[in-house]
Amino acid sequence: MARASRRPGSAPANSENTRLIALLDQFAGPGQGQRFLARVLDTADNTPAIAREIARSAAFQRLYKEARTADIAGRAQDHGDAAFIDIPALDHNQPFEAQFREHFRPRLGKRADGFGMLFATLASRHPRPLIIETGCLRMPGNWEGDGQSTFMFDAFVRGGGGHFISIDALPESIDTARRACSSAANLICNDSVAGLYALSQLLAAPAALIYLDSYDLDVDDPLPSAVHHVLELAAVRPLIGSGTLVCVDDYAVGGQQGGKGMIVDKFFSSIRAQVLYSGYQRLWSVP
C-alpha cells in the first residue's frame, strides 16, 4: 500500500503529534512546534543543538521568567540548596571546617589545596570577614570544572558570620547562584569592574578576601582575561588593606603560569605581597 508523502519540515498529523506540536509551540513560539518536531523525527540534527535553539527563543525566555517569578513574595533561604550542587548529604549544622573536609575538598580536584589554604588563613585571621567575589556560580555541581566557590563562601559566612558579595554580568549565573545559596549571599548583576568600583565607594571597611574569577581564560590568548582582572583589582583598591587576601583562579593552566593573574602577579611582586599559595590558584596577602 502506498504511503502519502508529506512536505519536508512537517510532522505527520495525529492526535499525539498534535499535542506535542502544541507543547513545542509553548516553548519555541506560535507556529514553531511543527518545524521542531519534524527536525527531531526526520533529520539527523543533534538533539542538544535543537534544544539549545529552542531555549534561545523569545517564547522560551518568557515562559522561563513567568515560571521563576510566579511567586514574587518568595522566602528567605536559611540554608543553601546542597542537593542542587550535588551534595544531598550535606549537614548544614556542621561547622564549616567539617563541611569543607568531608564534602567540598574531595570534589575540588586541582583547586583543593588552594581553597584549603584560603579557608584556613581566612578562619585564622578574619573571624567575621567581608568576602567579595567576581564571577559567581554558573553550573551547579561542576566542582572540578568551576570550583563552586560561591556556595562555599556562602557556607563560610553563614556558619561563622561576616558578609559575602558576589558580582556577575550574566543574569543566568545570578539565577543559578541565588537558587544554590542562602540569603547570606548578596548577589549583584553587573559588570564586575563597575560593580567593584561602586562597592569601593559605598563600603568603608577593607575586605578580608577578594576572589577574582570573572573573565574566562583563553589559554592561547590570556591577555584579555589578565587585563580584565587587573582592572578589577584597580576598581576595588580602596577596599584592600593590610592583611587583605587576594586570590585569582586559573593561574597555572596547561603547564604555564600567569593565566588570569598574569598582570596582577606583577603588581603584587612589586609591592612585595606575600604569596601564600601558588598552583592552579594564586593567593596573596597584602602587606
Q: Would you kindly state where each structural domain of the chain is located, as residue ranges?
A: 15-68, 82-285
Beta bridge partners, 71, equal none
**pLDDT of res. 262:** 95
**pLDDT of res. 74:** 53
pTM over 0.85: no
**pLDDT of res. 190:** 97
**pLDDT of res. 64:** 78
Averaged over successive runs of 10 residues, the pLDDT of the chain (287 residues) comes to 49 74 90 88 88 90 72 66 94 95 97 98 95 96 94 96 97 94 97 98 96 92 94 98 97 91 97 97 98
**pLDDT of res. 20:** 87
User: Do 158 and 95 meet the contact criterion of CB atoms below 8 Å apart?
Assistant: no
**pLDDT of res. 188:** 98
Count Cβ atoms below 10 Å from residue 254 Cβ, excluding itself: 8
**pLDDT of res. 252:** 94
The top-level CATH class assigned to 82-285 is: alpha beta
